[in-house]
Amino acid sequence: MRLYKAKNYEDMSRKAANIISAQVIMKPDCVLGLATGSTPIGTYKQLIEWYNKGDLDFSEVTTVNLDEYKGMPRENSQSYYYFMHTNLFDHVNLQKGRSFLPDGTEPDSEKACSDYNAVIHQVGGIDLQLLGIGRNGHIGFNEPADHFSLETHCVDLTPSTIDANKRFFEKEEDVPRQAYTMGIKTIMQAKRVLLVASGEDKAQALYDSFYGPVTPAVPASILQYHRNVYVVADEAALSKMP
């Protein structure tokens, strides 16, 4: 694991955007695995800024997102489809039809998951996977469990994740209880992984993931076995690291 210590959220965002830019510049037709959540928003803003300056070109890039709430209409402002469009896709020159997310509107979980596995297979795997981290160590929506789930699957969100995500909804009852998420094997097969973390409430999860035992009870801990992991975190998130 290569750790980049950032002073604060802005510094983290710029450092993470630099790594993504390097990927896009070195391999213009790369496949980027993308993430939602509040942590990567600043990274996306920075990428948009560099795109507007003419320093970045996304015209050959393909993107695959980690996850989507099950049963969430795309036009709902809390869908990850909506999030990705407002925070990145609508502002850069990604080609239409080259950005993929699991289909949250598909009620048949098996179909939604196998369709998404086929998409990932079809794009030829992920060059760089961006990840946030949940307070309980989840990545994508791979929640703490007694085993690692390999490919795209439907998950029941844990009370801790529902609690963390309720801030985006009017009331807690509105937070979806299930999601489709890319699995651990798919994430581990990405050539490079970039994990971003900011704030004190991520400090324990970061410590457990990189200094604790590798266990499905802390899903991000599996990244200890990945050969090319870049962690960009601010001082608050790193406060429990040795």
| Position 132 contacts ligand GLP (CB under 6 A) | yes
Shortest reach from residue 165's CB to ligand GLP, in Å: 5
Q: What string marks each residue from 57 to 96 as x (binds ligand GLP by CB under 6 A) or -?
A: ---------xx-----------------------------
Contacting range for ligand GLP; rule: CB under 6 A; set: 11-19, 32-40, 89-97, 218-226: 32-40
Which CB atom, from 5 or from 166, has the smaller least distance to ligand GLP? 166
CB closer to ligand GLP out of 39 and 152 = 39
67 given a catalytic annotation: yes
User: What angle separates helix 41-52 from helix 9-26, to the nearest 10 degrees?
Assistant: 50
Question: Which C-beta is closer to ligand GLP: that of 60 or that of 204?
Answer: 204
The residue with its CB nearest to ligand GLP is 132
The Cα 117–Cα 202 span in angstroms is 29
Contacts of residue 10, defined as CB under 8 A and 6 or more positions apart, other chains included, come to: 42
Tokens of 79: 């869908």
Tokens of 191: 């050539």
Pairing of strands 178-181, 153-156: antiparallel
**Which among 159, 111, 169, 116 is positioned nearest to 134, based on CA atoms?**
159
- Check residue 161 for interaction with ligand GLP (CB under 6 A): yes
Q: CB of 205: closest distance to ligand GLP in angstroms? A: 9
Closer to ligand GLP by Cβ: residue 39 or 62: 39
Active site residue 138: yes
Picking from 131, 121, 124, the residue whose alpha carbon sits closest to that of residue 195 is 131
| CB contact at 8 A, 134 and 159 | no
CA 229/CA 124 separation, integer angstroms: 20
Mark whether 52 is an active-site residue. Answer: no
The secondary structure of residue 46, as a DSSP letter, is H
Q: Which residue, 208, 36, 223, 37, is CA-closest to 148?
A: 223
Among 37, 137, 176, 183, binds ligand GLP (CB under 6 A): 37
Query: Which listed range, 16-24, 34-42, 169-177, 209-217, lies at the site for ligand GLP (CB under 6 A)?
Result: 34-42
36 binds ligand GLP (CB under 6 A): yes
> 3-class SS at 155?
strand
Residues 65, 67, 127, 165: which is the catalytic one?
Answer: 67
Active site residues: 67, 136, 138, 143
* Contacting positions for ligand GLP (CB under 6 A): 35-39, 66-67, 132-134, 140-141, 161, 165
